[in-house]
């Protein structure tokens, strides 16, 4: 069968952060390479398209549930050994605006559709929905640190958010991070991210 999804060409982005829209199928590129040799072979063989940052491949369908994408997963991904939530996941875009242009109560939270995986994290903020690859070896505290840093930068310093920030160290006072393309280091006070919550703990960033 010749499958075609919402986008029939592959586009590349340098951003760690991808934006799910409508119903989005997210596939780990490492799983694609394992099962189909390369992402290019996968895309060509199945006339599949979407957006990739080299780590994740996403494709969207303008309906919920995503009938065509779900059929593609059942007919192609699963027979090749891929498993739901281990190798791919479905993420639904959550609307930001409520009735009469009010903000939804589901704002400034982690994306709940990512909870079933250990390799995907996301956030729902006033600027939209974002997802990113999350190292499964990180502790829950480390993942929360990333979430809070990314959210803060997206709101307050979008130019740094767009340069793929990386947490490199936590000390008793600051979260230290760097961004791609710049030989500079930055820091944010922990209280700016946790608002004086008593959740500081040990992690591998130290």
Say if 65 falls within a structural domain.
Answer: yes
**Which structure tokens are listed for 19?**
């934006």
Mutual angle of helices 39-46 and 29-36, in 10-degree steps: 70
pLDDT value of position 2? 36
Say if 125 falls within a structural domain.
Answer: yes
Q: Return d(Cα 51, Cα 43) in angstroms, integer.
A: 11
- CA geometry: angle 19, 93, 40, nearest 5 deg: 45
pLDDT value of position 6? 37
pLDDT value of position 188? 95
Please enumerate in sequence order all residues whose Cβ is within 8 A of that of 123, keeping only pairs 6 or more positions apart, or say none: 108, 109, 110, 111, 129, 130, 147, 150, 151, 154
pLDDT value of position 50? 93
From first to last of its 206 residues, the chain has per-residue pLDDT tens of: 333 343 458 999 999 999 999 999 999 999 999 999 999 999 999 999 899 999 999 999 987 778 999 999 999 999 999 999 999 999 999 987 654 555 555 788 999 999 999 999 999 998 999 999 999 999 999 999 999 999 999 999 999 999 999 999 999 899 999 999 888 999 999 998 987 555 555 555 55
The count of C-alpha atoms lying within 13 angstroms of the C-alpha of 73, restricted to the half-sphere facing its C-beta, is 23
DSSP string of 25-49?
EEEEHHHHHHHHS-HHHHHHHHT--
pLDDT value of position 9? 82
**Which structure tokens are listed for 17?**
């952060």
Say if 35 falls within a structural domain.
Answer: yes
Show the domain range for 123: 10-136
Would you call 168 helix, strand, or coil by DSSP? strand
Q: Return d(Cα 56, Cα 166) in angstroms, integer.
A: 17
Say if 176 falls within a structural domain.
Answer: no
**What is the number of domains present in the chain?**
1
């Amino acid at each position: 069968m010749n499958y075609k999804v919402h986008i029939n060409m592959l586009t590349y982005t340098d951003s760690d952060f991808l934006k799910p829209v409508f119903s989005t199928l997210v596939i780990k590129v490492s799983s694609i390479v394992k099962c189909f040799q390369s992402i290019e072979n996968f895309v060509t063989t199945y006339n599949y398209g979407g957006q990739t940052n080299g780590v994740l491949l996403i494709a969207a369908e303008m309906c919920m549930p995503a009938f065509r994408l779900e059929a593609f997963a059942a007919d192609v991904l699963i027979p090749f050994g891929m498993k739901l939530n281990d190798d791919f996941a479905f993420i639904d875009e959550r609307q930001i605006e409520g009735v009469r242009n009010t903000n939804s109560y589901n704002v400034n939270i982690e994306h709940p559709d990512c909870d079933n995986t250990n390799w995907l994290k996301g956030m729902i903020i006033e600027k939209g929905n974002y997802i990113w690859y999350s190292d499964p070896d990180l502790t829950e505290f480390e993942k929360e640190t990333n979430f809070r840093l990314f959210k803060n930068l997206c709101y307050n310093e979008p130019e740094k958010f767009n340069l793929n920030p990386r947490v490199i160290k936590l000390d008793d006072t600051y979260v230290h991070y760097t961004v791609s393309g710049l030989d500079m280091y930055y820091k944010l006070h922990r209280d700016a991210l946790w608002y004086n919550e008593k959740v500081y703990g040990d992690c591998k960033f130290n």
